Amino acid sequence: KVLHRDVKPQNLLISEIGELKLADFGLARAKSVPSHTYSHEVVTLWYRPPDVLLGSTEYSTSLDMWGVGCIFVEMLTGVPTFPGVRCTYDQLDKIFKILGTPNEETWPGVTRLPGYKPHRLIFYKIRKLGLSFPRLYDIADGDSMASSLLQLNPDDRIDAEEALRHPYFSSLPRKLYELPDGEC
């Protein structure tokens, strides 16, 4: 497994036949066994998951799946999902305002993360993602897919294989599956 560690729209390339490729592996790392030595200074701020924003250095492919979720919502709505403007805590506020502020009940272990500082956080109630992005309800299984990708707790985030089996993809037009394979 490889952690890309900088999944964002600028690193996605789409060919003329609709083939999607991931680019810029400058921050990528091999992920064969869990490590405690990764930096939390990865991923462009808008696409950085809350666990990393809170200082976790024990991350897995769930790091990249958060970025996929942000891009998924951005593609369906036409606007960035969590456009923080200043710093880590501003970015966390953008996320928590939409998804709710985590606590030990909703995300066991969150209060032990180095960046979890209650005096710096505003506590928001948990909400459905579609309330902030109603367009997600207009697309079959769009809200469910986005919500599965954008779980605050990285252990609850859907992985790539699960995402491909998600009902969202079964409702896509059959024509998409008939696109020709590109050359390697």
Q: Is 6 a catalytic residue?
A: yes
Name the nearest CA neighbour of 3 among 40, 28, 33. Answer: 28
SS3 of 58-80: CCCCHHHHHHHHHHHHHHHHCCC
Residue with tokens 């394979």: 181
Contacts of residue 175, defined as CB under 8 A and 6 or more positions apart, other chains included, come to: none
The torsion angles phi and psi of 25, rounded to 5 degrees, stand at -95, 25
- Degrees (nearest 5) of the Cα angle 179, 180, 182? 120
Q: Give 130's Cβ-side CA count (13 Å radius).
A: 13
Tokens (6 digits) for 37? 């030595």
Residues in the chain: 184
One of 6, 64, 93, 143 is an active-site residue; which one?
6
Catalytic positions are 6
